[in-house]
């Protein structure tokens, strides 16, 4: 492998160190990544909008700033991508929907502005399913994103392209967004790290609704340290988001060095809500045993939730999507949008206000139950998904194909309860199935304990490193 090719696999933290030491320039790194995208992405389809000339111009500017002795930002010279659904002025904002193909963002969301102001090199935008409504990686506008570990297998969703791009060496870090697992699912399925912060940690203005209590911006990266570096830039108060937390003097990258010996860990293979594939369960049980090696106490336990899938369906997903897209003529879009996506809208239209409010009240009880449960534990650990990855053009894993739509969407995931209970959660690589597909381990912390979750994930990474693994397609 050439030296330029190797640049594509270095962690962002190492790239940043070498840039600061004047061993590399932003232009060196950007050229290497763009060359790799040019060679690899036609088969992968992680990027749906690429800006190579603009990225090179930014890299030259960052290189000149170094020569002039300018103070370097936290991401100075580091290439990054953003999910297509993030508003970045002058870029497509279609959400993968054919009817929106001409839509262009007219402003930057706070996260987009912060990544740019930190000195990052904006490569382009990554793929997603239509409207970000599911955990698959295809849509009628941009087509399918394939899993770098096996062509023809889903890259997960909804931050499909972000997970695939980072796993394939097409940029060290990526912005992602999560309304039910959309950071953690593609990170797990592609064998990388995905972190969903606490509610309000990173401002989110993705929809006209300014009270999005279930949706989050966060990082996807190949290492925990890189995710923490990106969170340092993304986190902080913004008045446009009324749920935004006050800016705290926390260095999330430094938090990765914290020791967690003595931590109390609850392990649950299924949270009492899903069937788990025996191979997934065995891989994750072996992975969680690593925490005993550093002096943590691990025991089997889970919060006693009755039906979080119903709460997600009735309190969050269907009413939100139905209201957000109620002006769309879905009959006119027949054949150009997933039938399942339209059914999510229709299901929202059929809900009564009483059903939504009752489900929302049950969500409140879930929060109470979680907080009481976490009074006895520092972390709750689960598999991220309960079944291996499935073919990209199949909507859900085979065991769920005849199930109701709600089960097809949620029945193979253990991520969405932590959107309802908005605690910080991260997925880290736990191993591989016998078919060579990645498996993710989800680590959840107490409310607003983002730094603790990163510390736990980094401790696991030191014991069970994964960044040396590179996918075949790549």
Catalytic residue among 16, 83, 196, 268: 83
Q: Measured between alpha carbons, how far is residue 442 from residues 354, 386, 445 in Å?
A: 33, 11, 10
Task: Establish whether 158 is a catalytic residue.
Answer: yes
Which H or E run contains 150?
strand 150-154
Residue 137: count of CB within 10 angstroms of its CB: 33
**Burial, 256: exposed, middle or buried (Cβ in 10 Å; 0-12, 13-18, 19+)?**
buried
| Residue of 16, 160, 182, 389 with catalytic role | 182
Between CA 198 and CA 450 the distance in angstroms is 7
Q: What is the DSSP letter of 381?
A: E
Side-chain-side CA neighbours of 430 within 13 Å: the count stands at 31
Contact (Cβ atoms closer than 8 angstroms) between residue 451 and residue 255? yes
Element (H, E) at 253: helix 252-255
Distance CA 237, CA 61 (A): 28
Helix (H) or strand (E) holding 366: helix 353-373
Please report where in the chains the tokens 């040019």 appear, as a residue.
38
- Report cis status (omega within 30 of 0) of the bond before 442: no
Length of the chain: 474
List CB contacts of 67: < 8 A, sequence separation 6 or more. Answer: none
Q: Where are the beta strands (DSSP E) in 239-300?
A: 264-267, 297-300
16, 81, 137, 158: which one is catalytic?
Answer: 158
Is 83 one of the annotated active-site residues of the chain? yes
Between helix 26-44 and helix 160-167 the angle, nearest 10°, is 120
Q: Are 164 and 186 in contact (CB under 8 A)?
A: yes
Give φ, ψ of 424 to 5 degrees.
-70, 140
CB atoms under 10 Å from CB of 304, counted, come to 11
**Which phi and psi (to 5°) does residue 96 adopt?**
75, 15
CB atoms within 10 A of CB 306: 12
Please tell me the distance from the alpha carbon of residue 276 to that of residue 284, in angstroms, as a whole number.
11
| Contact in structure between 193 and 12 (CB atoms under 8 Å) | no
Instruction: Cite the active site residues.
Output: 83, 158, 182
């Amino acid at each position: 492998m050439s030296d330029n090719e190797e640049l594509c696999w270095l962690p962002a933290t190492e790239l940043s160190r070498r840039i600061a030491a004047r061993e590399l320039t932003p232009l060196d790194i950007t050229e290497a990544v763009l060359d790799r995208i040019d060679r690899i992405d036609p088969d992968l389809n992680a990027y749906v909008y690429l800006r190579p000339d603009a990225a090179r111009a930014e890299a030259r500017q960052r290189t000149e700033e170094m020569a002039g002795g300018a103070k370097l930002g936290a991401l100075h010279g580091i290439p990054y991508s953003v999910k297509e659904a993030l508003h970045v002025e002058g870029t497509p904002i279609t959400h993968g929907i054919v009817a929106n193909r001409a839509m262009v963002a007219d402003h930057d969301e706070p996260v987009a502005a912060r990544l740019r102001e930190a000195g990052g090199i904006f490569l382009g935008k990554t793929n997603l399913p239509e409207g970000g409504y599911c955990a698959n990686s295809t849509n009628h506008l941009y087509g399918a994103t394939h899993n770098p570990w096996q062509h023809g297998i889903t890259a997960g969703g909804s931050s499909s392209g972000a997970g695939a791009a980072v796993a394939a060496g097409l940029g060290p870090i990526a912005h992602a967004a999560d309304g039910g697992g959309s950071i953690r699912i593609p990170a797990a399925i592609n064998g990388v790290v995905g972190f969903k912060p606490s509610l309000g940690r990173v401002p989110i203005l993705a929809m006209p609704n300014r009270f999005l209590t279930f949706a989050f911006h966060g990082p996807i990266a190949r290492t925990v340290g890189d995710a923490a570096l990106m969170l340092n830039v993304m986190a902080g108060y913004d008045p446009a988001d009324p749920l935004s937390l006050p800016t705290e003097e926390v260095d999330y990258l430094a938090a990765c060095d914290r020791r967690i010996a003595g931590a109390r860990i609850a392990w649950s293979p299924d949270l009492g809500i899903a069937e788990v594939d025996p191979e997934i369960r065995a891989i994750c049980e072996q992975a969680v045993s690593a925490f005993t090696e550093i002096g943590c106490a691990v025991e089997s336990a889970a919060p006693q939730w009755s039906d979080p899938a119903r709460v997600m369906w009735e309190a969050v997903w269907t009413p939100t999507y139905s209201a957000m897209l109620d002006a769309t003529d879905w009959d006119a879009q027949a054949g150009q949008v997933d039938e399942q996506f339209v059914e999510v809208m229709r299901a929202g239209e059929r809900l009564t206000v009483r059903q939504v409010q009752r489900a929302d009240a049950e969500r409140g009880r879930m929060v109470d139950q979680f907080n009481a449960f976490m009074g006895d534990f520092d972390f709750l650990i689960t598999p991220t998904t309960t079944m291996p990855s499935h073919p990209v053009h199949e909507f859900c894993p085979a065991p769920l194909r005849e199930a109701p739509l709600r089960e097809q969407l949620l029945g193979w995931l253990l991520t969405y309860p932590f959107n309802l209970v908005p605690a910080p959660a991260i997925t880290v690589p736990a191993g591989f199935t016998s078919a060579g597909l990645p498996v993710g381990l989800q680590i959840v912390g107490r409310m607003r304990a983002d730094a603790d979750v990163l510390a736990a994930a980094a401790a696991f990474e030191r014991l069970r490193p994964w960044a040396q693994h590179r996918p075949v397609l790549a």
